[in-house]
Amino acid sequence: MLNNSTILITGGTGSFGNTFVPMTLAKYNPKKIIIFSRDEMKQWEMAKKFHNDSRIRFFIGDVRDKERLYRALDDVDYVVHAAATKIVPIAEYNPFECIKTNVLGAMNLIDACIDKKVKGVVALSTDKASSPINLYGATKLTSDKLFVAGNAYSGEHGTRFSVVRYGNVMGSRGSVIPFFMSIKDKGVLPITDERMTRFMISLEEGVELVWFAFDDMVGGEIYVKRIPSMKMTDLARVVAPEAKQEVIGIRPGEKLHEQMISSEDAYYTYEYKDYYKILPVINDWAKSAERIKDGRKVPEGFVYSSDNNMQWMTDQQLRVWIELNMEKIGRI
């Protein structure tokens, strides 16, 4: 469906956008991809990568500004919502700003997409939206609920909304692998807790999950990819085998393990070969055969957490990934 279509990506100059754009150009040859973001310097740097490709357009704007969204969404078919205030400590100290972007920005986008008759919207979520303990997670849970309910809100306009949720994105801006790589020469890597685990997903896998959501969604689903976990002590050992690991304690708002599906979500969750699907609880949509398809309901009390995962990334798999992505990591 993305072939010869016009796609807009909010927050498009981030790590996800820089991976989504070239992959989507190569696979689907869309008519146009519009990068909607508020940092002109990042747009300037990103534009250099595409050598004036006529299919790429840049649009300065902020999801907080509904009027600007209305203008940007003219003749747009599909939207990927990647804009967010996402650094946990910054959100804790700047709660008003976090809410303006993550909650009010989501509301603005939903309204604008419905009014502009956008066909489909996929919003990026996070493990922190499941049983949130920090403001960032709470705002993303709110955002998820808004996008799910947007399907009822759109009525006869026909705009469909769904969400994709995943954990630690390897190599993304602000993530742990680039951070450890940048300080490994100091000989000491900070570990918040020796028991800590994280899900591991590549940016490319995140893009593929968004593509799949556009193809599969009826509206209101939250897609969770089945991905491996890894202990942070093992990750640090692979990145810097000679470095000492110093335990510094968990930071405010940080979880010991990532969770993407809670036991409360289990009542509405179905499993498939490569992913889970959390169905919406409103309007009896969780009973919709059109949404369930060939899924199998997970057991009562099921929790998808990085510590109880059945898949684990090996040291060798991480080494191979780092070797293949060394240049990309160095640019972050």
Contact 88, 138 (CB under 8 A): no
Structure tokens at 66: 């509904």
Please state, in angstroms and rounded to a whole number, the distance separating the CA atoms of residues 9 and 7: 7
Structure confidence at residue 172 (pLDDT): 80
Count of CB atoms situated within 10 Å of the CB of 258:
23
Structure confidence at residue 109 (pLDDT): 98
Structure confidence at residue 175 (pLDDT): 81
Check whether 289 has a pLDDT greater than 90: yes
Structure confidence at residue 331 (pLDDT): 60
Q: What are 24-39's pLDDT values in tens digits?
A: 999 999 999 999 999 9
Check whether 11 has a pLDDT greater than 70: yes
Contacts of 288 (CB under 8 A, 6+ apart): 218, 279
**Cα 331 versus chain centre, distance:** 21
Please state, in angstroms and rounded to a whole number, the distance separating the CA atoms of residues 305 and 147: 23
Give the percent of the chain with pLDDT over 90.
83
Please state, in angstroms and rounded to a whole number, the distance separating the CA atoms of residues 61 and 38: 5
Of these residues, 42, 86, 116, 128, which one is catalytic?
A: 128
Structure confidence at residue 290 (pLDDT): 95
Structure confidence at residue 332 (pLDDT): 54
Is residue 128 flagged as an active site residue? yes
Contacts of 75 (CB under 8 A, 6+ apart): 6
Give the percent of the chain with pLDDT over 70.
98
Give the pLDDT band of residue 278 (cuts 50, 70, 90): very high
Contact 61, 13 (CB under 8 A): no
Burial string for 85-102 (b: 16+ CB within 10 Å, else e) reads bbebeebeeeeeebbbbb
Mean pLDDT of the chain: 94
Check whether 1 has a pLDDT greater than 90: no
Check whether 310 has a pLDDT greater than 60: yes
Give the pLDDT band of residue 51 (cuts 50, 70, 90): confident
Please state, in angstroms and rounded to a whole number, the distance separating the CA atoms of residues 176 and 192: 12
Contact 332, 173 (CB under 8 A): yes
Domains in the chain (CATH in brackets) are 6-166+202-226+259-304 (3.40.50.720)
Check whether 23 has a pLDDT greater than 60: yes
Count of CB atoms situated within 10 Å of the CB of 75:
12
Q: What are 177-223's pLDDT values in tens digits?
A: 888 988 989 999 999 999 999 999 999 999 999 999 999 999 999 99
Of 286, 151, 142, 279, the closest CA to residue 224 belongs to: 279
Tell me the whole-structure pTM to 2 decimals: 0.94
Give the CA-trace dihedral at 41, 211, 284, 266, to 10 degrees.
Answer: -90
Q: What are 236-250's pLDDT values in tens digits?
A: 999 999 999 999 998
Count of CB atoms situated within 10 Å of the CB of 113:
28
Check whether 252 has a pLDDT greater than 70: yes
Q: What are 98-154's pLDDT values in tens digits?
A: 999 999 999 999 999 999 999 999 999 999 999 999 999 999 999 999 999 999 988
Structure confidence at residue 171 (pLDDT): 78
Contact 5, 77 (CB under 8 A): yes
Please state, in angstroms and rounded to a whole number, the distance separating the CA atoms of residues 144 and 215: 19
Contacts of 279 (CB under 8 A, 6+ apart): 220, 221, 268, 269, 270, 285, 286, 288, 291, 292
